[in-house]
Structure 1
Amino acid sequence: MGEKTGGVSSVGRSAEGWLPTTEEKSWQKAGSKLNEEISSDSEPDSPAKKKNNEAEEEIEETPQEKKLRLAKLYLEQLRQQEEEKAEEEAFEKDLVAGRLKEDVLEQKGKLQRQIAKSLQPPESADIRVLRGHRLPITCIVISPDDKYIFSAAKDCTIIKWDVESGKKLHVISGEKKGMEDSHVGHTAHILSMAISSDGKYLATGDRHKIIMIWEAATCKHLYKFTGHRDAVSGLSFRKGTHQLYSASHDRSVKVWNVAENAYVETLFGHQDVLTGLDSLSRECCVTSGGRDGTVRVWKIPEESQLVFYGHQGSIDCVQLINEEHMVSGADDGSIALWGLSKKKPLTTVKQAHSRHGTQGLEQPYWISSVAALLNSDVVATGSHSASVKLWKCGEGFRRLEPLFDIPLVGFVNSLKFSNAGSFLVAGVGQEHRLGRWWRIKEARNSICIIPLKKTTTSDAQISDESS
């Protein structure tokens, strides 16, 4: 017998052409039947067959092939990660570049967000009125996060309000003159107020020459600044710092370091009582000088001042729009836009709130307050003309165009835009904040929160007003 391979005799498969034996025939039949069964159980598209094939491939993959496959997979993952990282960096770079451009324009005083064209007049029913002061409101400020309003009045009280609910969160009561030693708070009409840009400190000034510093979060009294010789009519924190500027009827501007509870210096120059003050991030401030007819920009490090002339009456309020432009109002009824590079107004609107009185004895409505939405083309003015007026600054601050009126009865003694520009707050009283010349009996001493509706958020654009 020849040698068998795989259980089949090699005899009969030789070159001689022998026929297979009976045993060989039966084995071949069985093998043929087995093959048929295997092929019938495994269809070409069967998942079981695919699985078996994959398993066979995995089994057949050599260690070197596996290493090569894993290395390629790792390199592909690295490539994808690098692409995603590059996309993120490009996105962040665009954001940073945009922010840097805004910061540069802001520092140059050329940042102007085009918001005016998207504003719509609010419905009277949407204006919220907060009542809490017994006497006319004289000044208001809004916290940097727009969550709180602080108001002060001739009743010597300070109230902290929650913007969302309209509820009083804290009341710092006032007292009568002579109670200074036993009472923590003001004992005279509060005329001015300011809050630091980080929301930490609140400063208030009154007719008794006193500046009080409070912890804004808790309304806890911290300390008192004395040094002015007359009423403190203006207060402002330098943006990004705890440096405080104060203006007074004693015709001086003082500089304080609130964090260190320290006096810094005094500046002189105005020829009449100071009625208003404002500042931004530069180490300088602007003041309105009442009947001396000037607006002044004080450069603190140089101890120098720029003098601007334009109004015919007493300049009672001033506000910076950006680092290079400001708006002011006077009792001759005019409002003026200024650029720091020119000593005369860029534009003036006379009788901005119209006139009142009998024929032949008509007088313009005094401008008692002005406000600007920072780095935008929107300003607001208040009087006792039964309305607040909103204006658009056009043509590179060379034109003031009226937008719409908001009905409010009484003396609008203070105006402030929220930092996000979503609402305007007005402090209203029956009397002017600086005097008691006459009363508007039908007015209510109140805080009015006026929502600023916009057509679409995409309408607000940023422009470089370099001209």
Structure 2
Amino acid sequence: MSSFFTTSTSQRKRKREETNAAPSTKRKNMSSKVGAKRTMDVPARGRRDDSISSDGSEDEPRRKIISDEEPTASSESEDEDETGAERRLRLAEQYLQTLKTEVDETGFDAGEIDRDLIAERLQEDVAETKGRLYRRITSTLSFSTAVQTSFRSLSSSVTSIAICPPYVYTVSKDLQLTKWELPSPPRLRLPNPTRKRPPKPVGRRPIKLIAKKGSKRESKDPNGQHHTAPILSIAASSTGKFIATGGADKRLIIWSADTLTPLRVFTQHRDAITSLAFRRGTNQLYSASRDRTIKCWSLDELAYVETLFGHQDQVVDVASLGMERCVSAGARDRTARLWKVVEETQLVFRGGGSSEKRRPGRRKEGDNDLKKSYSEGSIDRVAMIDEEMFVTGSDNGSLSLWSLHKKKPIFTIPLAHGLDLAMKPEEASAEATPDAKVPERQPRWITALATVPYSDLVVSGSWDGEVRVWKVSGDKRRLEGSGVVGRIEKEGGSLDVVDGAQEDGEDVSVMGLINDISVFERGDNEKDGLSIVAAIGTEHRLGRWQKVKGRNGAVVFEVQKIPRTEDPGEGDVQEEMLKNGT
């Protein structure tokens, strides 16, 4: 029996030549004249080739129809003197009218719309997985017309705040942990033509649900289930299962988010716990302490994982997002450090700059404070924008933008909250006849900092009575001011960022020192606006060296989204509504 391997080389070559002969036969059939009879070997190919090579006998009626219509169209265009652009516009309008008729007859395809929404959501998930900024929401929100509501039943300085929508958790220096429920935000209402100015909507106060209070008398009890010293920090897991609190008593307590029942008390830290942060979407926790360490915890097992060493001073703030890494602020070692937990490495970012640039704003004659340089002595606050960018706030009022690709800040806003008020001679001296010379004005610290993850929105706070909003520029190289929450900018320029609202004698948004800020979006992808919750006190959360006049408590700002309409009249009405605060 013969096979391919038993036949001779000449025969194998001959067989290949025979197989290659078929295309030449087809080419001959393709090049045959039009009226030739098609072969049965390639009927489909022959019909197609025949139609291509035909002399156009079937197209003659169509050509006659077109030729009959051309004189009419040309005559109409000549009568109307229609240009090429006008003709294209007319054809586009006819096309849109045809589409509209088809939509009215058949309706929308809900399945296709769902597929588009799912595709958009998948793109966002991919961008978030890569850890990059992918949303621009600052310009879509009306911060100046935010509705403000205060919390009740808070008698001591609120040191920290955490949100797990729709619940808010606050801790204070009087050892109290409180759970609140936020009501739905007020809606925009249509203006009443009979009234000159529509009434401003009033938000409902948060509802107090549960409160737990510790006691200093239990400080000697090693099995105590509550704090025995001021609570300095709190964090809520995004899964809505755990609440973590840390205090000056060196205790880290894990609570059930539903009932505020203590689940576990950790005492591994050797000094006060100053900040807590959950990894986004997980129950992995990072705790920062004055003992110059950061510890990692797994709350699924309620267990300690490891300790991160490196800071040369107390760690006062820590932040984290989706990846297994965190960023910390080292206070007076003037460094911010990015910890890659899996790789067991860290990146060190060194501050220590000075606010040499002159801030814009109203300036009185003879006032040289704006030209002075204020050195950075401590980095007190840090917040992550995405996995490659973060912002820090310092004791000289500087707000700095950082990137993982550079060890120095890529942009710095000096005196972000301006200078403190000038002291009076009798306040600066205890003498009966004090000298007129008073100490120089000092910058207001950045005492609170927050971001909306993977967006261009940054929020900061101090003790100037204002919650300020900043936007990351399109090229991710700058920070730009976007106004003050709950305060309308003046005509002819931006707000005075140097003196602030307190020196102007105007109403301020917040009376007191802002110790912490937490932000969350209402609805799906901020379609219902944004909520900003600020923790307020009369003294700094970490000590009593900075006291201001004000009240203890918390404030929530409901920021509405700016309506986007194509109707100019409706847009003007909604813009007027926003200006009137409705």
Asked if Structure 1 and Structure 2 have the same fold, meaning a TM-score greater than 0.5 normalized by the shorter chain, the answer is: yes
Residue 129 (structure 1) aligned with residue 140 (structure 2):
no
Alpha-carbon displacement from aligned partner over 1:340-367 (angstroms, at most 9, x marks no partner):
2221212110010011243761111011
Please point out which of 317, 337, 346 is paired with 2:410: 346
- Report the secondary structure of 1:111's partner residue: coil
2: distance between equivalents of 1:204 and 1:457? Answer: 41
* Residue segments in structure 1 that go unaligned for 5+ positions in a row: 1-83, 460-467
- Report the secondary structure of 1:452's partner residue: strand
Counterpart residue number, 1:393: 472
Counterpart residue number, 1:159: 178
Alignment map for 1:212-223 (pairs within 5 Å): 212-223=253-264
Evaluate the alpha carbon distance shift between residue 225 and residue 458 of structure 1 in structure 2; reply closer, same or farther with a 3 A threshold. farther
Evaluate the alpha carbon distance shift between residue 309 and residue 395 of structure 1 in structure 2; reply closer, same or farther with a 3 A threshold. farther
**Greater CA deviation, 129-138 or 150-159?**
129-138
1: distance between equivalents of 2:228 and 2:133? Answer: 42
Residue 367 (structure 1) aligned with residue 388 (structure 2):
no
Counterpart residue number, 1:445: 552
- Report the secondary structure of 2:119's partner residue: helix
1: distance between equivalents of 2:439 and 2:274? Answer: 34
Q: Which residue identity is paired with 1:237?
A: F
Check the 8 A contact 2:335/2:379 in 1, yes or no: yes
| Offset, 1:377 | 1.3
Question: TM-score, normalized by length of structure 1?
Answer: 0.75
Counterpart residue number, 2:141: 119
Residue 140 (structure 1) aligned with residue 140 (structure 2):
no
- Report the secondary structure of 1:97's partner residue: helix
1: distance between equivalents of 2:410 and 2:275? Answer: 25
Evaluate the alpha carbon distance shift between residue 302 and residue 402 of structure 1 in structure 2; reply closer, same or farther with a 3 A threshold. same
Question: TM-score, normalized by length of structure 2?
Answer: 0.61
Alignment map for 1:305-320 (pairs within 5 Å): 305-311=346-352, 312-320=376-384
Check the 8 A contact 1:133/1:155 in 2, yes or no: no
- Report the secondary structure of 2:134's partner residue: strand
Check the 8 A contact 2:124/2:134 in 1, yes or no: no
Evaluate the alpha carbon distance shift between residue 457 and residue 135 of structure 1 in structure 2; reply closer, same or farther with a 3 A threshold. farther
- Report the secondary structure of 2:216's partner residue: coil
Counterpart residue number, 2:461: 382
| Offset, 1:240 | 2.0
Alignment map for 1:68-467 (pairs within 5 Å): 90-123=112-145, 126-143=147-164, 146-164=165-183, 165-179=205-219, 181=221, 184-311=225-352, 312-358=376-422, 361-406=440-485, 407-420=509-522, 421=526, 422-441=530-549, 443-456=550-563
Check the 8 A contact 1:337/1:397 in 2, yes or no: no
Alpha-carbon displacement from aligned partner over 1:65-123 (angstroms, at most 9, x marks no partner):
xxxxxxxxxxxxxxxxxxx9xx6664444333222211222233333322111222345
Evaluate the alpha carbon distance shift between residue 261 and residue 112 of structure 1 in structure 2; reply closer, same or farther with a 3 A threshold. same
- Report the secondary structure of 1:106's partner residue: helix
| Offset, 1:255 | 0.8
Q: Which residue identity is paired with 1:97?
A: A
| Offset, 1:184 | 3.1
Alpha-carbon displacement from aligned partner over 1:271-299 (angstroms, at most 9, x marks no partner):
10001011111011110000111111101
- Report the secondary structure of 2:159's partner residue: strand
**Structure 1 or 2: more strand by fraction:** 1
Check the 8 A contact 1:256/1:265 in 2, yes or no: yes
Check the 8 A contact 2:535/2:553 in 1, yes or no: yes
Evaluate the alpha carbon distance shift between residue 173 and residue 393 of structure 1 in structure 2; reply closer, same or farther with a 3 A threshold. same
| Offset, 1:136 | 0.7
2: distance between equivalents of 1:317 and 1:265? Answer: 23
Check the 8 A contact 1:136/1:431 in 2, yes or no: yes
Alpha-carbon displacement from aligned partner over 1:381-427 (angstroms, at most 9, x marks no partner):
11011211111111332111111124212110000111435210000
| Offset, 1:331 | 0.6
Q: Which residue identity is paired with 2:409?
A: P
Check the 8 A contact 2:225/2:265 in 1, yes or no: no
Q: Which residue identity is paired with 1:318?
A: V
Evaluate the alpha carbon distance shift between residue 334 and residue 444 of structure 1 in structure 2; reply closer, same or farther with a 3 A threshold. same
- Report the secondary structure of 1:121's partner residue: strand
Evaluate the alpha carbon distance shift between residue 183 and residue 133 of structure 1 in structure 2; reply closer, same or farther with a 3 A threshold. farther
| Offset, 1:180 | 5.7
Evaluate the alpha carbon distance shift between residue 135 and residue 301 of structure 1 in structure 2; reply closer, same or farther with a 3 A threshold. same
Counterpart residue number, 1:34: none
Kindly tell me the number of residue pairs found equivalent between the two proteins. 371
Q: Which residue identity is paired with 1:118?
A: T
1: distance between equivalents of 2:475 and 2:412? Answer: 14
Evaluate the alpha carbon distance shift between residue 177 and residue 289 of structure 1 in structure 2; reply closer, same or farther with a 3 A threshold. farther
2: distance between equivalents of 1:394 and 1:239? Answer: 25
RMSD, matched Cα: 2.1
User: Percent of aligned pairs with the same residue?
Assistant: 42
2: distance between equivalents of 1:215 and 1:114? Answer: 35
2: distance between equivalents of 1:304 and 1:149? Answer: 34
